[in-house]
Structure 1
């Protein structure tokens, strides 16, 4: 059949765009990249030129080249790989790369900019250079291009909680390498919490002798239970010891070890920011030194543990001693004080606090916390450091120089207030930047489409938003393999948001596909792309065939039907698999390196089409019953609602956020489907939600959890069908989203006109 010229031209352009993404598969993508013909070839005869100021960065490039050709390039006065200082560049991290068939010219104002250029060159090199110290290739080819690049945001960070579960020095270095590869520049280490004190403080040896170790707690037991069906959840045995007849979990970093990690990060132009969380989250320290609390010990209150006491001078002596050692150990300009989630009830009853509040004209315990934070900030300043605190430091009054780290997405005005007050803000909202939340098919997209600057800020006020970071809280991340899975590849999406800040999601996904082989060779146990074409709970009316498209060409999909988790020895899933009847299938994808995807459980059952109901007197939209109070399951909602409103779709109105408090909701009506078919539904909830159609539970996404998508199917005849969503929120930010798909089509929101309710 004849194709019009415009169609052929379009095909050529699309093919060229895809090839360009594969040829220049860089994440984050440069601000400006002009493709050039040909490639530059590095061999043992290639010479390198580098001034003294770029000695470290040249050594980093040499190490990459050695990983390829097994040789260190000769350094000469003239050569074809040239580092050059360019003071015309504006920023500390700016760089230019001019790669032709005859030369690689690396221009930067500072060593940091030169290093960012080296990491771009690294991503242009073939993945085969990774994972070895001395390679045996005869050459390394990189595509020709002219690149001009700089970051949009100064703070591009990752946080790692090493208190709840501990991570080795070698893993910290692996983590740093990945940050460097994707041009992240801050590592926020959460070093202390109730569950463990992880950094040596010489003046207080019990902090690590006792505070670094614990008997297994409820978080460990949950991980152990999950490990029965998911080996990625196993406890790391290298952090388990036996002492005095007890089995203990833990570990800590000596100051010598931490100096080594800091130097390793500095060589890769990454700043490590230590967090010693005070005044709350201090159980590990108070257990070792009970005098630190107002009550002479610590226990769990309604939500959090007893904090240290801001009404005793001995508390400030302890804090200043600790931070004196921390300030000397960490060269970062910042120290993070934490200051979040403080259980202040013990302050209200301690006589000494009444005296301190009266002496300092403080009216509330929130002002008492602000008194503690401001006093610590003055001490930090005396050591040449700046204070960072979680956004609770706004409560009771914030100093004009503190840096605020925003995390409570249910308090959306917190970063706005701080920026308008002239405080610098780092954005870390729980949704989507808490990477301890279990990832689903939407997770990478949600991160990629995150906008760091709140809309309510003017252009001048927006300058106080200095960047963002993602946080990895490790209550349910018991080992290094699981940590990899939780933050990769989500971090690559954040890296592009913060460096490039240009939305090209389709292009990003194409470039991400080129990254997986590199990550395989770096032994990163990343979360593989999602398998598609099914839901978790499936129905069939007649004979059903299941086809699953591989999201990666070299992926092998394996399955079981006996309830066991698939592994590399399980049967390969065939094309055109005929569903044999009521069955439960477990699927997983495997890369050639043995990396495994999520384990998908597909339940199939036979069902007849539900006939429509005949109801008159309907209006477009749904009824929403709202319930005040705490409900840990949708099955616990009481009969009578506290209020009732009308909504247009299965979306919770922002007006019902209830200040971050717990609540429940029931959304009811009818869904008017336009054709007879098996409908797939996808329900994303934070915390819990169930979907019922025709009084059938289609999706069970109950329980308190971070944003998580679950899916299910139901066979419906054309017309009206009873419809209900039950939803519970445990407190904090909430998410509720319902989508559908029919006949293998695109997953999309349910149209408003499908939803009706009784007037």
Structure 2
């Protein structure tokens, strides 16, 4: 009998996954794999574990060995009793796909290429403990088959406004690689600084790389104040080679951006002959769009060709990004040379001249075996023959380019600009503006609905952009980029049917523990409260969005929160007067989960909960709160003019029709507009008000401040229906950002009292 028991134990040890004292980490992989099947038991990783590797996979093997030794003090051996095997498999079709299998005897990763093997390793290490000093630990038995949805999965970093150390650039690339991003878009030249060493032009290092001072506070804060400190620097070619090598070892391709013809004031400061006037200028000391652009002379083209010659020796990537965005045409309009060139080349206008500029540089770059990418402005005046387009001003540019059979990369401000605010909390660090919460980033679909099935193939993927006007430190970059970049990683890799935001948040909570170990200063708004005013049977209620395994406690009327059981939120509670709601979130053990106390002021004015129509509807990118946001009793933020309480309209006249449902005494109509000219947003010049189909009264609007208040007064006006007509500001004046385009209108709560 004793021998029989020993035999059973031996068979179990051989045929089933081994049991260990500790439990394996639950599979919570980001981005979520295509298929994932869990099995009972675990593989035990220890210093007795071997690593078997096909030839040509030594780089990935070294990466895995180093990762395990650094993070867990376990050193893999050449041949062990149980092995991790990395094998090439030509039967796997996609170059980036992989298959990961964990049994009690072996961990195997198979892929067609080393890149696919690397992505399998990234999934494997997410099955490891966050931290462990143990000599061994278990890994969940499972099978994964996985492949990316898009071939281009990118993140961007602007170093033109602020320069970051090489060590941080490497850390940033490490984080991208861990999320299976395959492209790092390195924005190296700007009006505020030239950051790449070009040996043929030493003044780019001596002059263009430094500005005399930097704008303090926000661009919209008037008057502008500066710190008076010289600032700048650049990456040497040796440093760039070091970064490129580091990225290639992690299968991240680096696309350098050399801006042209606009955003070139720093270069013109170093070499004034590159501009149209020849006048001396300074490196820009604040962000914006500047009149100084490259003049399309032979001198300029020779300069840029020489720059490109040095750039392509440093970057093995297929693409060179040439910018092409926000290039004002005033210098070209006033240049006799440019006007003569337009006639000689039979161009339509200055937009045609920009197309000529881009096409000429594209031909040169193509001759060097590279292709260009540009922002969607390169569509203006005609698209260069082989160019790929990054569509940032919404999706229109992507649709236009794809229908012309050009490759496109989606990076719209609405979902991919990680310099926007991500929280409604008033204590958020200063950002450029806008509002892009984590959920919105996660909901992004890079395939524009206007494209046919056949045209989908021109969408290579998407990219998150990190513009650093208000990010002076690596810690601030991390705070703004993560976790929104993590959400984008899943958008770009995972099959849409596998995505679920609530489930993603649970995996993200665990992933953040890994970020803690890496000392990443990510933003954590997962337990930030959200609420809304709702109407039911003519009564108003306030409703919180609940959390799993967490409790919400609240208080009313502006008192300091006293969280007792009778104030625990269970169902929407009635609101019958103006009030201030304060609330907080706790876990089951009484630990505070929300970072700050939630506070919401409700102004129960006469329009709240009534009927409202808008013509046209707000732009879909700035309509998070819907039409009712104008009369929900909640005013928008004084900082985040793209939050759900602010509605944005793209160049349209607006007609608001409000039905108060019964004759109502009206003494004031109030609202306010954002006047953020730096973001192409302008308050209206006048507003028309009509009561019950009577005559319109026109009110002038003073729009000389960042927040423009409109306040129309009446004497006991009795009316049921109100029409409010808001004409668009019109074309943005010459010399301003967005000159020649119709202005946006951003509007806050419409208050009737």
> Are residues 530 and 216 of structure 1, via their aligned partners in 2, closer, same or farther at CA, if it must alter by over 3 Å?
farther
Deviation at 1:479, TM superposition (A): 1.5
Q: Over residues 478-523 of structure 1, what are the superposed CA-to-partner deviations in whole Å (9 max), with x where a residue is unaligned?
A: 2211111111111111111111132322221221121111111111
2: CA distance, partners of 1:727 / 1:58: 63
| 1:556-635 to 2 correspondences below 5 Å | 602=599, 621-622=612-613
Does 2:198 correspond to 1:197? no
> Are residues 248 and 183 of structure 1, via their aligned partners in 2, closer, same or farther at CA, if it must alter by over 3 Å?
same
Identify the residue that residue 413 of structure 1 maps to in structure 2.
396
Deviation at 1:355, TM superposition (A): 2.7
> Are residues 261 and 689 of structure 1, via their aligned partners in 2, closer, same or farther at CA, if it must alter by over 3 Å?
same
**Secondary structure of 1:120's partner?**
helix
Deviation at 1:584, TM superposition (A): 11
| 1:230-629 to 2 correspondences below 5 Å | 247-297=229-279, 298=281, 304-409=289-394, 412-440=395-423, 443-502=437-496, 503-533=499-529, 602=599, 621-622=612-613
2: CA distance, partners of 1:362 / 1:312: 16
2: CA distance, partners of 1:45 / 1:21: 18
Q: Over residues 354-387 of structure 1, what are the superposed CA-to-partner deviations in whole Å (9 max), with x where a residue is unaligned?
A: 3322222112111111111011011111211111
**Secondary structure of 2:109's partner?**
strand
> Are residues 128 and 420 of structure 1, via their aligned partners in 2, closer, same or farther at CA, if it must alter by over 3 Å?
same
Any gaps of 5 or more consecutive residues in structure 1? 1-19, 130-135, 227-234, 241-245, 538-544, 558-570, 628-646, 653-658, 674-682, 691-701, 706-719, 740-754
Indicate if the aligned counterparts of 1:489 and 1:526 stay in contact, CA closer than 8 A.
yes
2: CA distance, partners of 1:383 / 1:533: 54
Equivalent in 138, 153, 156 of residue 135 of structure 2: 138
**Secondary structure of 2:449's partner?**
coil
> Are residues 63 and 547 of structure 1, via their aligned partners in 2, closer, same or farther at CA, if it must alter by over 3 Å?
same
Does 2:61 correspond to 1:58? yes
Deviation at 1:599, TM superposition (A): 5.6
Indicate if the aligned counterparts of 1:407 and 1:429 stay in contact, CA closer than 8 A.
yes
**Secondary structure of 1:174's partner?**
helix
Q: Over residues 191-233 of structure 1, what are the superposed CA-to-partner deviations in whole Å (9 max), with x where a residue is unaligned?
A: 1111111111111111122212113333x4339999xxxxxxx
1: CA distance, partners of 2:509 / 2:414: 25
2: CA distance, partners of 1:55 / 1:612: 68
2: CA distance, partners of 1:404 / 1:556: 46
Q: Larger relative contact order (C-alpha < 8 A, sep ≥ 6)? A: 1
Indicate if the aligned counterparts of 1:621 and 1:756 stay in contact, CA closer than 8 A.
no
**Secondary structure of 1:247's partner?**
coil
Indicate if the aligned counterparts of 1:21 and 1:511 stay in contact, CA closer than 8 A.
no
**Secondary structure of 2:32's partner?**
coil
Deviation at 1:602, TM superposition (A): 3.3
Deviation at 1:589, TM superposition (A): 11
Identify the residue that residue 737 of structure 2 maps to in structure 1.
none
Deviation at 1:389, TM superposition (A): 0.6
> Are residues 459 and 78 of structure 1, via their aligned partners in 2, closer, same or farther at CA, if it must alter by over 3 Å?
farther
> Are residues 703 and 112 of structure 1, via their aligned partners in 2, closer, same or farther at CA, if it must alter by over 3 Å?
farther
Deviation at 1:101, TM superposition (A): 1.7
> Are residues 54 and 733 of structure 1, via their aligned partners in 2, closer, same or farther at CA, if it must alter by over 3 Å?
farther
1: CA distance, partners of 2:566 / 2:474: 35
2: CA distance, partners of 1:622 / 1:756: 15
Deviation at 1:573, TM superposition (A): 9.0
Deviation at 1:550, TM superposition (A): 8.3
TM-score, normalising length from structure 2? 0.71
> Are residues 458 and 585 of structure 1, via their aligned partners in 2, closer, same or farther at CA, if it must alter by over 3 Å?
closer
> Are residues 222 and 738 of structure 1, via their aligned partners in 2, closer, same or farther at CA, if it must alter by over 3 Å?
closer
1: CA distance, partners of 2:33 / 2:745: 33
1: CA distance, partners of 2:566 / 2:371: 60
> Are residues 460 and 612 of structure 1, via their aligned partners in 2, closer, same or farther at CA, if it must alter by over 3 Å?
closer
Deviation at 1:256, TM superposition (A): 0.8
Q: Over residues 230-278 of structure 1, what are the superposed CA-to-partner deviations in whole Å (9 max), with x where a residue is unaligned?
A: xxxxx9xxxx9xxxxx621222111111111111111000001000111
| 1:27-66 to 2 correspondences below 5 Å | 27-66=30-69
TM-score, normalising length from structure 1? 0.70
**Secondary structure of 1:128's partner?**
coil
Indicate if the aligned counterparts of 1:43 and 1:139 stay in contact, CA closer than 8 A.
yes
Deviation at 1:51, TM superposition (A): 2.0
Indicate if the aligned counterparts of 1:22 and 1:511 stay in contact, CA closer than 8 A.
no
> Are residues 756 and 35 of structure 1, via their aligned partners in 2, closer, same or farther at CA, if it must alter by over 3 Å?
same
Deviation at 1:585, TM superposition (A): 8.3
**Secondary structure of 2:438's partner?**
helix
> Are residues 295 and 668 of structure 1, via their aligned partners in 2, closer, same or farther at CA, if it must alter by over 3 Å?
same
Indicate if the aligned counterparts of 1:308 and 1:315 stay in contact, CA closer than 8 A.
no
Indicate if the aligned counterparts of 1:49 and 1:79 stay in contact, CA closer than 8 A.
no
**Secondary structure of 1:80's partner?**
strand
Tell me the C-alpha RMSD between the 2 structures.
4.9
